[in-house]
């Protein structure tokens, strides 16, 4: 899901006022609940009654349903309906990023969103991720650090900039920087398996085996099919002289690989 692209305040106001919920409000609420087809019906009714704000959530619903032609039509209408709104550009960037893997086009959409709101933290973060995928690592780091700075100015559950920075730093053998970044991500979202895995990987790169083992065990507890965590934990245990523990984890890794193939990461 795109994650809070839309404005939940509309729903809150409608509920608190006791007024009957509009088709727009119902459609957005249904979309957030995962009732995508029902959401589409409500949002189409909203459009039929002249509510142009419904174009954006309707585009998001079509994104979820992989209705590419309808998505393109609605996102274009959303841009036209409110040219100064960064959200349609952010949503379209996410669509190009996730559905088409078109990182260059996605980065241009994120740039458009940021030209309308330079503090749009998710557009800033995904621009960094797109640039990373384009091998523009210095530019990627710049935008991810800007996203982190934006997060520092308020309470947020958005851990992705920290997680992505940690992954980038590990690729560059910057273990200390990776550890600092991923510790922030774990503080925000400790129950995300990838956060715990990257923490374990960073701690192992820092030669802090006990902390690496603890984090990798947490990653596996959160997702027993996390093959990379099993394999790295086996390596760490072997290096620490725990041959029996390493063999057990390696056996689990091999068994899970038979089930899941190349592996599964959240």
Does the pLDDT value for residue 16 go beyond 60?
A: no
Please report, for the domain that includes residue 30, its CATH number: 1.25.40
**Residue 233 near residue 223 (C-beta atoms within 8 A):** no
Does the pLDDT value for residue 25 go beyond 70?
A: yes
Q: Where are the alpha helices (DSSP H) in 99-192?
A: 103-116, 121-133, 137-152, 160-171, 175-188
Q: What is the pLDDT of residues 96-144, one digit of tens each?
A: 999 989 999 999 999 999 999 999 999 999 999 999 999 999 999 999 9
Does the pLDDT value for residue 90 go beyond 80?
A: yes
Q: Is 58 exposed, middle or buried (0-12, 13-18, 19+ CB in 10 A)?
A: buried
| Full residue range of the structural domain in which residue 62 is found | 1-81
Cα(240)–Cα(128) distance, integer angstroms: 37
Q: Which residues contact 136 (CB under 8 A, 6 or more apart)?
A: none
Q: Is 27 exposed, middle or buried (0-12, 13-18, 19+ CB in 10 A)?
A: buried
Cα(233)–Cα(230) distance, integer angstroms: 5
Does the pLDDT value for residue 150 go beyond 80?
A: yes
Cα(166)–Cα(178) distance, integer angstroms: 4
Does the pLDDT value for residue 52 go beyond 70?
A: yes
**Residue 213 near residue 205 (C-beta atoms within 8 A):** no
Q: 2 falls in which pLDDT band (50, 70, 90)?
A: low
Does residue 38 lie in a domain region? yes
Q: Which of 83-87, 183-187, 256-260 has the lowest mean pLDDT?
A: 256-260
Does residue 17 lie in a domain region? yes
Cα(66)–Cα(57) distance, integer angstroms: 14
Query: What's the number of domains the chain is made of?
Result: 1
Q: What dihedral do alpha carbons 131, 147, 97, 71 form, nearest 10°? A: -150
Does residue 33 lie in a domain region? yes
Does residue 88 lie in a domain region? no
Whole-number Cα distances in Å, 105 to 88, 109, 160: 14, 7, 21
Q: 156 falls in which pLDDT band (50, 70, 90)?
A: confident
Range 20-27 average pLDDT = 88
Q: 71 falls in which pLDDT band (50, 70, 90)?
A: very high
Does residue 164 lie in a domain region? no
Does residue 53 lie in a domain region? yes
């Amino acid at each position: 899901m795109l994650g809070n692209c839309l404005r939940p305040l509309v729903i809150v106001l409608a509920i608190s006022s006791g007024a009957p919920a509009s088709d727009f409000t119902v459609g957005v609420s249904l979309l957030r609940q995962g009732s995508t087809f029902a959401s589409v019906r409500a949002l189409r009714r909203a459009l039929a009654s002249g509510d142009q704000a419904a174009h954006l959530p309707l585009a998001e619903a079509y994104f979820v349903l992989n209705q590419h032609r309808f998505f393109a039509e609605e996102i274009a209408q959303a841009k036209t309906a409110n040219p100064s709104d960064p959200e349609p550009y952010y949503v379209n960037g996410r669509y190009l990023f996730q559905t088409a893997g078109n990182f260059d086009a996605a980065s241009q959409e994120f740039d458009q969103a940021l030209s309308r709101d330079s503090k749009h933290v998710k557009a800033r973060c995904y621009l960094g991720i797109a640039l990373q995928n384009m091998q523009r690592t210095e530019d990627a780091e710049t935008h991810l650090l800007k996203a982190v700075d934006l997060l520092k100015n308020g309470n947020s559950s958005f851990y992705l900039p920290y997680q992505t920075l940690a992954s980038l730093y590990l690729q560059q053998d910057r273990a200390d920087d990776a550890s600092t970044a991923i510790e922030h991500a774990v503080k925000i979202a400790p129950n995300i398996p990838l956060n715990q895995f990257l923490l374990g990987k960073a701690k192992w790169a820092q030669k802090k085996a006990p902390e690496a083992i603890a984090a990798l065990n947490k990653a596996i507890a959160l997702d027993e099919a996390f093959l990379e965590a099993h394999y790295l934990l086996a390596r760490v245990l072997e290096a620490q002289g725990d041959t029996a523990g390493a063999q057990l984890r390696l056996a689990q890794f091999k068994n899970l690989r038979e089930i899941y193939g190349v592996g599964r990461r959240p």
